[in-house]
Amino acid sequence: MVEKPSLDSTEERAWLGEGQCHMQPGTDVVEIANGDRPAWDSKIQYVLAQVGFSVGLGNVWRFPYLCHQNGGGAFMLLYVFLLLVVGVPLFFMELAAGQSIRQGSIGVWKHISPKLAGIGYSSCMVCFFVALYYNVIIAWSLFYMGNSFQYPLPWQQCPVDVATNDTVRECASSSPTTYFWFRKALNITNSIEESGELNSNMTVCLLAAWTIVSLAMIKGIKSSAKVMYFSSVFPYVVLFIFLIRGLMLDGAMEGITYMFYPKLEIWGNVQVWRQAATQVFFALGLGYGSVIAYSSYNPVHNNCHRDALMVSGINFMTSVLASLVVFVVLGFRAKNIALRCVAKYGYVYVVFSHWTGLAFIAFTEVMAVFPASPFWSTLFFLMLLNLGLSTMFGTMQGILTPLMDNFSLSGLRRTLLTVSTCALGFLIGLLFTQRSGNYFVTMFDDYSATLPLVIVVIFETISVAWIYGTDRFLDDVEVMLKWRPPVVYKYLWKYVCLLAMIGLLAASLLRMVFKGPTYTAWNRSTASEMTLEYPGWALAMIVMLIVFASLPVPIGYIHSMLKNRQVPNTHSEEEGGQEMHHGFYTKCTSTEQLDSDFDQRALCEEDEARPRAALLPIGSEQYQLLSQQEEEEEEQDTVM
């Protein structure tokens, strides 16, 4: 169990005398506890970091893709409903836990429930898996941005085969942007079973991506937070520029109409509910530990409830803004494709790509017809780069902060851990830069995070709502915020969120079992995509990814049970911390603690040395465990 370091005598007297720490909006964050623990320079820096992490490629590409596939406006309404009843309460729970305990995910869940200490380790594992393939997407953005500094753009027209002096057949059968993506950028094989050699261009880009991340993270939040001022704000500037430019295109209004037109019949489809819940889950970054890590650098009395509502609102509005941009562009693209298809074949044939294809195929095709196309292309992929990096910084914090806190690393050791993690990420990431690497990116995106993260959040909710107790948790939050959150959170955490997560887990497992894991491959000879089943070794790899990420939870529980059996009962009860049953506590107010006699102060100080049953290390009110005799006397007084 992790005990919080006590404050020195000067700080303790100040806290006990004032009973609270005031923080004015916009002022610098003052480090309240944990001696050498880093802190945010300002509130705006913290908000930008949380927004930068939660608003990523999933908001800009996956959300519009799901809207297009699942009924437009009807999917948005379903998403808002799930965001309010599931997303915001769980997001608030993680913010409050991290801010009050001031530790990374490992320390937080070990503090709340030692038997479920493995939750934090599972979060770290999932963050590492996500970081592996997420940085590959950043590498793709770097490659495309580097190729944008030429006119005409290399994906604007099909190349000519030197041998036949004719257009390359693969490009002629698809499109210039599709050919450039699959053949020039990825140089992809026909299936995952054909590995192929390393793609040298992507290997260099991946090295550059990990170098950028390493340099930005090397000084912790002190260095990454400075980058956030640009990486979190710049994408919004670009999105508004693209929206204004897109509204001038022919077919833009048709795209917006399609986006908002509600097809309410999709609400009867269980898979649509599953996709909406999954998108809420990933959009807010629940279960990664990054939300907890960022909030742990806040002052204890920061209004984390307001932060939860604000970040969730910004997250949703960003998804809507990005959807407007995407549907405006797709409206223009669909109208042009329709005209070409009618002229050539006499009918309309429009295929909507996977969300990665939406960014690297659909958008590149539209930008190629813009005047000054290199400028728009550079701007677009610079936006993708910043979106990816801001999320990547949060993901890395979800790995590094818990490990640094748990193993008490500081100074040079922190730097070595950061550099070593990035170097290991690059070496393993070479799996994704071989010619079949895109298929492994799809595998990791579909299976390495979804199920393990849902399992992590289920155990997080059980830990807070059923083991620690929602009333106790709300008591601690009340001490932090100086007002009590609405009681509705108690029932949302205990029942609604937990049942929703269990339902999402069941739906995902059933779909995986009955439909079977598949992936989309590019066939070079037919110049088209086809759906293939994973081979046996790839299925084993998927199972291993899920098991390795989820295994720390049961291992931690078994380790805690074995450890408790070896410790004498009396000692075990004294060290139980968060596993303590309902005890009797007497309140020591600030005045009483300072004015009482020496013996009473000694009792309170002795109690401070024990593992605390509350989340807060020290608050405006102190609690002291009564002896058995005093308990009986207090019970008699209560009865009388």
Asked if residue 624 has pLDDT above 90, the reply is: no
Asked if residue 35 has pLDDT above 60, the reply is: no
Q: Which residue has tokens 């984390």?
A: 304
- pLDDT for the residue 8: 38
Give the model confidence (pLDDT) of 421-430 as tens digits.
999 999 999 9
> At 614, phi and psi to the nearest 5?
-100, 160
Residue 587, classed as helix, strand or coil, is strand
For residues 410 and 120, give the distance between their C-alpha atoms in angstroms, rounded to a whole number.
20
Kindly state whether residue 365 falls inside one of the protein's structural domains: yes
Kindly state whether residue 612 falls inside one of the protein's structural domains: no
Kindly state whether residue 623 falls inside one of the protein's structural domains: no
Across 434-449, average pLDDT: 90
- pLDDT for the residue 268: 79
CA Rg, the chain, in Å? 27
For residues 334 and 506, the model is more confident at 506
Across 438-443, average pLDDT: 92
Rounded to 5, what percent of the chain is helix, strand, coil?
70, 5, 25
- pLDDT for the residue 621: 39
Kindly state whether residue 593 falls inside one of the protein's structural domains: no
Asked if residue 596 has pLDDT above 60, the reply is: no
Q: Number of structural domains, the chain? A: 1
Give the model confidence (pLDDT) of 347-378 as tens digits.
333 444 456 777 788 888 888 888 888 999 99
For residues 320 and 79, give the distance between their C-alpha atoms in angstroms, rounded to a whole number.
11
293: nearest Cα among 423, 133, 109, 552: 109
Distances (CA, A) of 214 to 105, 138, 204: 21, 14, 15
Kindly state whether residue 555 falls inside one of the protein's structural domains: yes
The residues facing 198 across adjacent strands are 434
Amino acid identity, position 249: L
At 533, which helix (H) or strand (E)?
strand 528-533
Report the C-alpha dihedral over residues 420, 423, 428, 429, rounded to 10 degrees.
140
Cite the annotated binding site for Na(+) by residue number: 52, 55, 59, 315, 387
Q: Are 381 and 152 in contact (CB under 8 A)?
A: no
For residues 447 and 273, give the distance between their C-alpha atoms in angstroms, rounded to a whole number.
18
Report the C-alpha dihedral over residues 341, 346, 347, 349, rounded to 10 degrees.
-30
Cite the annotated binding site by residue number: 52, 55, 59, 315, 387
Q: Which residue has tokens 């519009």?
A: 64
Asked if residue 584 has pLDDT above 80, the reply is: no
The residues facing 531 across adjacent strands are 520
Across 266-294, average pLDDT: 87
For residues 418 and 416, give the distance between their C-alpha atoms in angstroms, rounded to a whole number.
5
**Per-residue tokens: 101:** 């305990």
Give the CATH number for residue 357.
1.10.4160
Kindly state whether residue 407 falls inside one of the protein's structural domains: yes
User: In the predicted model, what is the mean pLDDT of the chain?
Assistant: 79
User: Strand 528-533 and strand 585-588: pairing?
Assistant: unpaired
- Secondary structure, 3-state, 60-126: HHHHHHHHHHCCEHHHHHHHHHHHHHHHHHHHHHHHHHHHHHCCCHHHHHHHHCHHHCHHHHHHHHH
> At 528, phi and psi to the nearest 5?
-150, 165
Q: What is the DSSP letter of 237?
A: H
Kindly state whether residue 575 falls inside one of the protein's structural domains: no
Asked if residue 156 has pLDDT above 70, the reply is: yes
For residues 590 and 15, give the distance between their C-alpha atoms in angstroms, rounded to a whole number.
8
| Domain coverage including residue 141 | 31-562
pLDDT band at 222; cut points 50, 70, 90? low
Kindly state whether residue 231 falls inside one of the protein's structural domains: yes
